[in-house]
Structure formats: structure tokens, C-alpha cells
Chains A and B, each alone.
Chain A
Amino acid sequence: MLKYLFFLSFFYDLCIASEPISPIPQTVEYDKAKALLGKKLFFDTALSRDNTVCCNSCHVLREGGADENQVSVGVEGRKGNIQSPTVYNARYNFKQFWNGRARNLKEQASGPMNNPHEQDMNPQLIEKRLNASKIYRNLFKKIYHTTRISYNEVINAIVEFEKILITPNAKFDRYLRGEVKLSQQEEKGYALFKQYGCITCHNGINIGGNSFQKMGTFFPYKTKADYPDRAKVTGLKRYKNVFKVPTLRNIALTSPYFHDGSAKTLLQAVQRMSHFNLGVEIPKKDAKDIVAFLKTLTGVKPKILDK
């Protein structure tokens, strides 16, 4: 116990002194050639069985890295079973997918490609398709020094691209670094965000994405469909409706909200979250202030998208 006390006294100052939210770094190290190849793949519909969808179909980079539809549409118009989470800043999520079944980006990237409702491919088919292309063969040969493209290299390139899909320099990050001031409303929104307890789950670099929480902690959240939740991964009933806490970065760009896409606006989302998870009916004025704060979380998209 003494050890814990020691740790406590040590961290006490730190935690009081620093904000529970940290800014996204300005730059990250990456392999440019691989990332550009990954970008090409990210936008290539050849990675779906009927050549209709690509990664970008559901993670629309020019918007919030997510899908404006309640659920995404895969090959042959098949519908997905959950709202598409944003690909931006995904590298800072502790797990991938809503229920955290993938431990990292590499595991995640394979998911949609092999999902019959999404891209409906398999590694062999992907290899066959890409190896048929002279352009890809040359690109992979240049970068991976192989004559035959392998599935692992495809995933590797996509992951390398996803690694740089970060959105630094959001107004709030710049505020944290002391570069700008928030407006009165935004500042109040942030205070309320903390006071109401939103911060309890939405904290860290991604303002979320670092823990699982139950949708409907306080009041049970009624769902229409059977969503792939944490219970599906662990096999434990008490994890019913438990999902990864989603990131709030670029939240203004990624409506609709929640795993079921049921909240169309931020205001709606804030109010419903505080009801179900905090047991609090937030006054509309406070909710608007919080929304104003949330809008400061929109960052600058990476330059690689310009090329």
C-alpha cells in the first residue's frame, strides 16, 4: 500500500497541473512511399469484389473520415450493421472497431476487406487482383522489392497511410498549447464538459478511444437491432451494449452519432448521452455551450491528401 501512496503523491501534482486531454503531435514519422501506395489502395475500389467500394467509401477522408449514412453500404448494396467510425486519429485508439475486437490498425484493416457485407474479398483474391496490375506490380517492386505482391504488404501499405491520418492543430489543441484563446462559450462548454462528467470517459489524446463504456450506464439504452458490442467479443452478458468510447476529435464532421447513428446532431447527441449515461438532463443552454466546445476539436487534415 505504501508503494501506492508514494505513487499517488507523485502523480497528484501532475494530474492537477495537466489537462486530462492532450494535443495531437504536429508530425509523426512515416514511410512516405509506402504511405502514398497505401493512399492509392485506400481509394481503390479494386479491393472490393464487385469493384464498387473502397476504404474511402465508408471512411470519407474529405469529410470526417466516417460515413454520413446511419450504416454504410458495402458491395452489391449490402448494408453494414453499425455506424462507420472515423479513420482519422484511429492510431490513437486503444482498440479498433466499436467493440474493440482488433488490437491495432493492422488487424482492423483486414476486417472490412474480408467482411461479406463490406468489401467481400479474401487475401488470395486481393493478391490476384493486384498482381494483375502492372502499375501495382511496379509500385510494390519499388517499395517492397518483391516480384509478387503479397496480402501482408497490401495491409502494411494501408496501415502506413492510416498512421498519418492525424488531425493536429485543432483550435482546442492550440488552446492547450497556449497559442490561442477559446471563446467565452467554448471555454464554458469545456468547463461544463468536465463538470457534467463527460471527461470521465472522453479524455486522453483522442478525447475517448481509450476505454470501454456501457451505452446507457444510468438509464438503460434501448436498441432496435443486435449490434456487435463488447459482449460479442468477451461472451459476457454484463458487457451488453458496452462499446469503445468513441473519439470526439472532428466530431462536428462525423454525424450521425452513436454506434447506431441515431443522433443526427451534436446537440441531440450531447443531450442523449447526458441522459442515458450521466442521469442528467442538461439545460439546452449548457448543451449548446458543450457543442461549441466540441466544435473546437476539428483539426487540420494531413497534407498527403492534397497530393
Chain B
Amino acid sequence: MLNKKVISIIALFGFFSFSVLVYFYFVQRDFTKNQREFVTNLDTLDNYNSDITSELLKNALYAYNSQDTIAHEYDLMQNQLRKLENSNILQHAAYASIKNSIDKSIKNRVNTFLGEIQDFLLLNAAVKNSVVFLSVHVENALTLKKEDRGIYIDAVKILDSFKDTKKTQDLDYIRHMHYLLHSDSKDKRTQKFIKIFNLHSTYLMKKFPDFISVTKKVLNNKIGKLLNEERENFNHIALHDFQFLDLFAFIVFVLLCIYFIFLIYLLIKYYKTHTKFIKAANSLQYSLTHDSLTGLYNRSMFEKDKKELDKPAILLANIDSFKEVNDVYGNDFGNSILKDMSKVMQTYFSSISGTKMYRMGGDEFAVLFENRSSQDVFEIAKKLEYLIANKSCEIDTIEVNVSVSVATNTVKPLLENADFALKLVKKDITQRVLEYNKSLAVKENWKNNIETINIIKSALKEDRVVPYFQAIVNLQTLKIEKYEALVRIVLPSKEVLSPFFFLEIAAKTQYYYEITKVMITKTIQMAKERNACRFSINFSMKDIINEEIISILFALFDANRDVASRIDIELLETEAVVVDDERINRFLEKVHSYGSKVLIDDFGTGYSNFSYFSSLDIDVVKIDASIVSEILTDEKKLHMLKSIHNFTIGMGMQNVAEFVESRELALSLKELGIEYAQGYYFSKPLPKPLDYDTVTL
């Protein structure tokens, strides 16, 4: 994993190299700018020098010429010299020698040059004017007297020498020249001509050396050469700076290279970590949405998908008796079946569009449909059930017939309703596929599970769990000999709740035992009050295997030995608990030891069978309502009743007919010789036993 230290070191290094880069940028920018400024100043001064020199030359050559340009360039050159002196780069110590020579030699040279220009202009004007004047003046010689006109030749010669000197800037033309005209003529005009000519030629002879000298100085001012030298000196020094910059650039480059290598290293590291992370995330994502065994989507995915569908329909399929298969063949085998089933179902649903299949947990599978009519889904479900029922599964050479219970539903809440329908399917072996509809709903009760538990809890806490007593009549004597204690909950509203509403739910909780305890205690209490009768308490197999209940029962029996002999135990048959006979027998023996009797409840239905009686010590058989209530209309039931009666007599047991609701039935039972009866005809269950002990028929 990436170390924070490494990252911060790289970040610091990056920051450092970037700072160096920025610093380098400013250093080189300043240097380049200053360097360029200086070179430009130097070049500009050089250019002005060339310009002004050519202007001066022009001024020297032409008879007349505007000097505005010279004046302007003179100004420019003066300013430019100041600019050059103030060049930024000269502030640096390395360029002190350049600064020195600019301040001294160049500045002096330029200022001298500017002075020389003034001198040149003064002398140029003087020489030019006199030469021009003489050029005009010599023509006057032709107007002199004939004999004096020869002087014209001499005058022109002298003038030509001056012109040549001016053109060539070479004093040799006039150095040894006789520049004065002379004539012995007495003519005044001649003498005046000569005087004026000589005045100017003398003047020119006097001015020419200075003029030529200053012209040469101006035209060969050497400023260009000086500037060139300075440019070279400067370049030489600047080269050092450039070398330094090169080195600096190299260092920056190396720093950045190192930084980039670091970065690439980080990137690779990051990429690797990231890839691992993505893989982990993917597999996590996969495991979040998929079932690991079958590879189908899991329940959480189902919950997610369900919400996204507009008109969802659901199919729930549950493998029948999977628990038993698992128990018999082991978990691995069970898993193989689950995989096999999921494949079969997947194949089936892959041909049906708009379906998605989920494993909801255990042996339950769900399929979500989008935009399907409930009939469609139901048909699909029926086909599925048929498909699986007619297919055998072969795992490790063991052939197993697997069947499924299927429920479909389109009514919200989707899963709950489907679940409910599936439970109904499970209860009825004849029904393999069921579509949920509202009429199936006794469902309110299911929904009320929690509420019911709360009712039980508060009833226990507030002592509102009470026994109701139903009389059991001796049909032969018409005496009330016994009472069956039946559990009731009195609601705060005084409404009385029968066990139908709460016992099944209570049986799944610890409260069930609490209820049994209350029933034992309160029945014993009642038995004390009414010492003429026997009382029976309902015990389920569950109660029998509960040590606490058993010990409480027998503790109470011990404490009330006189009463205990009048308390009977009614065994309820339930499928849920299979208790071995040994254990039951030990319990029954103990019960018998107090003089109590044992009754079998609801005989003739459910799980009751005759084998009990061979192994268990039973005193009384209670014949189930489903037989008793129909003997008047159903021959078979009557026959069954008679058989049970005969059987109990033969086994030395007593019998009781339940659910006697009419006089007619009571009379028939009496006639048949049934010993006891209980039911609404005699009395419904009441909070207390009746005040009388005889009934009439």
C-alpha cells in the first residue's frame, strides 16, 4: 500500500522542483529581457550613428539641404546614449566592466561626436557658402574688360581645386596651390573681382584644413567600432550567464525528470492498488447481489429489483421436504440438489423474457416478472411445477425425486403475500401451485403475530391468562363429574380471547410455558375450591419435555397431594415434537403416582393412532369432534365411533365424546354406551365450574 510518508516526500519534492522551475523561469526571463534590452540599445545607438553620419555626408555634398533630420537624429542619439547608460543589465556586478567602458569611452566618444557635429555644421556652412559663392562669382570674370578676362581661367582652376578638395576631402589639391589671383590691371572692376575672390579663397584655405579634419572625424567617428567591441565584450560576459542558465536549466530538467519518475512510480503503485481494490469491490459487489452457492441473484438484489419494477409479479418456489433430504443425505447432497434445481429453473426461465431469478435463502427460489398478467405467471408456475415433478435428480448415483411447491402473486406486498400462499400450499399436499388472492387471507392473523405476542405478554404480566372450565358429563348418571380447563386471555376490554387466536403463536415462544404454568397453578387452585370434581389440564408433548414445566407441575402436586389425585393430564397430539415413548412413560408413571389420570385428546384425527395404547399407560380417550359431530349423518363415522368405544372398553379405558351440541346427539351417544360427553349442549366453557352437578337430557 502507498505510504503516506512516501507520498508527502514526493509531494514536497514536486513542490521543490516546481519552485526551482518557477525561480528559473523568472531568472532567465529577467536575464533574457535585460540582455535583449541592452543589445537593442546598443544596436539602436549604432543605427542612429549610421543615420546621422549619412545625413551629415548628404549635408556636406548638397548645396542646400534641410537640417531638420540632423537635428532630430542628434536628439535621438543623445536620448539613446542615456538609455544605453541606464540599461538594467549594467546594474549587475558582472557587467561592471561594460558599464565602465560605456560610462567612459562610449559616452565620451558619443558626446565628442555630437560636439564634432556642431563643429562640422559650422564649418560646412562656411565652406559650402564660400564655394557656392565663388562658383557664382567666377562668372563675373567674363564680364570684365577683354584683356582682363584671362583671369577667369585662373579663378576657375582655383575654384575647381576647392571643389575637388571638398569632394575628395583631400587637402593635397590645395596644399601648394597659389590660391590668390593677381592682376596688374588698373581696372577697378577687375581689382574688385580679384579682391572678393581672394577674400573667399583665403577664407577657404583657412577653413579647409579644419573642415576636412572635422568631416573625417565625423564620418570616421569609430563609434560603430567601439559599439562593436562593447557588443563582443558583452557577449563574452553574457556567455557565462548563458552557460550558468544552461546548467540551471539542466538541473531543473533533472529535478523534473526525477519528479516524473517518482510520479510514474506512484501511478504504477496506485494502478496496482486500484486494480486490486476494483477486483475486491467487484467480488464484494458480486457477493452482495449474488448467491454464492447457485450463482443466482440473492435476496438483497431481489429487494432492490422489486422496487424498480412497475407492475411486478412474483413466483415463489420451495423444494418440498428439502430439510428431510438434507438430514438424510447430508448438506453436500442438499447443496447439489439446490444447484441442480437452480440450473433447471434457470434454463426454464431463460426462455421466458422479462424474468429474473433469485435464491431467497434455504430451499426457496423467487422469480420476478415484469409486465405479466397474473394468469400468465400462474400458467408458467404450473408448467414449472410439472417440469420438476416429472424430472428426477441424479446426484452421486443416487436418484432423488424432487418436487416443488409454487406460489404466485401480483398483489402488494409482493413477497409477503406470495409467502403466505406458499405456506398454504405446503399445508395442503394436494395443492402444488397457488396464486395469491385476497380471499386467502386469514392473513390478518399472520400480520398480527407481533401484536398477538404483545397481547400474550401483557396478559401474563397483568394476570389476565385464566382457565375456563367446561363440564364433562357422565352420560349414564347425568352427573357433572369433571371439568376440562381451557386457556383464555381476558383482554383489558373484558373481551375473552380463545386459544385459537393466540396459542399457535404462543407455542413458538417461551410464553407458551408461562401459559402452561398459569393453567396448572390456577386449575389446582380451582380444584381446591371444588372438591367434588376432577379437573383436566391440556399438556402438549412440548410441555412434557420441558423440565421446568414438569418440575413445576410435580412441585405443585407435591404441595397439594389431596388435590393432585383429582387433576388429570390431557395429552394433545402435535406433529411438531416426537418424544420417545420411554420419556412419556416416565412422565405418565409419575402422574399416575399421584392418582391422576391421563387422557388422550382429539382421538380419531391427525396423528393419533392405536400404537400409543400398546406402549403408553392411558386412562381415558377423548373422541375427536370430527367423528362425534357427524355420527347422526355419516354411517362411517358412526362405525368409527362404535369401534373406538369398543376398543377403549376392551383396553379398560374410559371414553369421552367431544363437541356434543344437541340433545339428539347426546341421546344417541348415551344409547351407544359412550361414558362421558362434553359440549355446548351441556355447557360452554365458563370462568368457574357450574353451581349444579346434575344435568338433564
Contacts and interface: CB of A to CB of B under 8 A. Distances in A.
B54 A279 contact: no
Interface string A2-27: 01100110010001000011100000
Interface residues of A, number: 37
A94 B71 contact: yes
A102 interface: no
Contacts of B74: 94
Contacts of B64: 20, 194, 199-200, 203
Contacts of A195: 132, 136
B455 interface: no
Contacts of B63: 194
B68 A204 contact: yes
A238 B115 CA distance: 11
A279 B200 contact: yes
A213 interface: yes
A22 B66 contact: yes
Nearest to B129: A197
A15 B122 CA distance: 21
Contacts of A8: 54, 57-58, 61
A201 interface: yes
A7 B54 contact: yes
Interface string B49-75: 010011001100111111110111011
A138 interface: no
Q: A15, A94, A195, A211 — which one has the most chain B CB atoms within 10 A of its CB?
A: A211
Nearest to A18: B66
Given A15-B62, A279-B130, A94 B72 contact: yes
A279 B71 contact: no
Contact of A213 (B66, B122, B200): B122
B174 interface: no
A197 B128 contact: yes
Contact of A278 (B70, B122, B129): B129
B122 A203 contact: no
B66 A203 contact: yes
Q: B66, B132, B203 — which one has the most chain A CB atoms within 10 A of its CB?
A: B66
B126 interface: yes
B54 A210 contact: no
A189 B200 CA distance: 23
B133 interface: yes
Interface string B145-187: 0000000000000000000000000000000000000000000
Interface string B98-135: 00000000000000000100110110011011101100
Interface in A165-221: 194-197, 199-201, 203-205, 210-214, 217-218
Contacts of A277: 129
A298 B54 CA distance: 33
Q: A4, A200, A210 — which one has the most chain B CB atoms within 10 A of its CB?
A: A200
14 contacts: A7-B57, A11-B58, A20-B66, A103-B75, A196-B129, A204-B66, A210-B67, A212-B118, A218-B130, A236-B115, A242-B118, A278-B133, A279-B199, A279-B203
Interface of A: 3-4, 7-8, 11, 15, 20-22, 94, 103, 194-197, 199-201, 203-205, 210-214, 217-218, 234, 236, 238-239, 242, 277-280
Given A197-B132, A218-B130, 6 more contacts: A4-B57, A196-B133, A210-B67, A210-B70, A211-B121, A217-B122
Closest 5 pairs (CB-CB, A-B): A197-B129, A94-B71, A204-B68, A7-B54, A210-B71
